Amino acid sequence: MKYLVTGGAGFIGTNFVKYILQTHGRQAQICVLDALTYAGNLSSLHDELQSELISFVHADIGDREAVDRILLEFKPDYVVNFAAESHVDRSIDDPGIFLRTNILGTQNLMDCCRKAWQNPDGSYMPGKRFLQVSTDEVYGSLLRDIPDGRRFDIPHPLCDAAGGRSESTAYGNDFFTEDSPLQPRSPYSASKASADMLVLAYIHTYGFPALITRCSNNYGPYQFPEKLIPLIINNVLQNKPLPVYGDGRNVRDWLYVDDHCAAIDTVLRRGRLGEVYNIGGFNEKQNIDIVGMIIDEVARLCNENDRYRALLAEPDRLPDRSLITFVKDRPGHDARYAIDPVKTATELGWAPRIPFAEGLPRTVRWYLDQRKWVTDIVDGDYQMYYHKMYSGR
């Protein structure tokens, strides 16, 4: 199968490309399209780009000529749209770029696919599928039902039945389902909700062969360091203050990125066209707890391994929770997200397989082992990778 992966040099896109090549090998060919804005890091795919199974095009999904050319020459079976501006704080500062990329870019991508895939009678070539990768943030915010912030266990037998993990926690009785109303509360989530509505409109108006996935917070390797988990890891190593919005009790459902990639591939291959599928981690955590767990894990690894300890700005002192600094809350900060992925589990047999107790230490260790990758981003050197690899070619 041929995959066109837009935004394939970003965090989830990079992991998806790696997952497809590792899972399907020579049965898959991939074309990565990425505009290489601030969060696109082509060096993350250095090894994969040496393979004849993968090609790269430096372009924006809003560039009709470039997208038309790729569809004509590469002839993908699947188009997976990861391309998006995705940082809430940046959307509050400058909403315009989010509207242009996330809404108009998605619309252009679908128009190009319609042109390439549609037969004269209005039907579509068999096997063609467009997947819009969305977010649980389009649903808005849930209440934290427990006033003191305590959590309680929610059994998920369907997760067990699908071969996943049954360990789960929740901070309320309410969950986002595919039928929950869209109530975005930030410019970022509003732009993603708008794109979702456009995809649904194309499905119903043109019979467009599309699906939508909405996932909870991802974590894992190759995430841009301004996001919560890599930001905290980096600051812990440098003995910098750890900024936590408000009281730190905002709740998110966390999903290891490889589990998300497996879910996307499953939806692509077996999902019903026209449907929305929620992808969640069965794992809710308060932001303050995430920060504390990272501090403890970095301290543990540095205590056990001199190589890791040498990464500390102050090697004689293990990090502790005194680094936590509460800062003014973000405008419109949603209290709680919680995905109910029962539809995906029951229809498609998918469930997350990496529990947080395994995924977070794995993630922390990766960032400690890949300091050059992080340093290149912090210094801005990663943005030179494309020019170094592709100039004159």
pLDDT at 39 over 80: no
34, 60, 136, 334: the catalytic one is 136
Select which of 3, 19, 188, 256 is catalytic.
Answer: 188
Q: Say whether 363 sits in a helix, a strand or coil.
A: helix
What's the CA gap between 53 and 233, in Å, rounded? 34
What does the pLDDT look like over 234-282, one tens digit per residue? 999 999 999 898 999 899 999 999 999 999 999 999 999 999 999 998 8
What's the pLDDT tens digit per position in 68-91?
A: 999 999 999 999 999 877 666 676
The question of whether 137 is a catalytic residue gets the answer yes
Proportion of the chain above pLDDT 90, given as a percent:
67
Beta bridge partners of 134: 214
Residue indicated by tokens 């210094």: 379
Query: DSSP secondary-structure letter at 329?
Result: P
pTM of the model: 0.91
**Taking the domains of the chain in order of start, what are their residue ranges?**
2-390
Catalytic residue among 34, 85, 137, 258: 137
Task: Indicate the class that CATH gives domain 2-390.
Answer: alpha beta
Reported as a single tens digit per residue, the pLDDT across 274-304 is 999 999 988 889 999 999 999 999 999 999 9
Annotated active-site residue 390? The verdict is no
Phi then psi for residue 392, to 5 deg, are 80, 0
> What does the pLDDT read at residue 111?
98
**Closest to 348 measured CA to CA, from 180, 159, 181:** 159
User: Among the residues of the chain, which ranges form H helices?
Assistant: 11-24, 64-74, 88-93, 95-98, 106-117, 157-161, 187-206, 228-237, 257-270, 287-304, 306-309, 342-348, 356-369, 371-379, 385-390
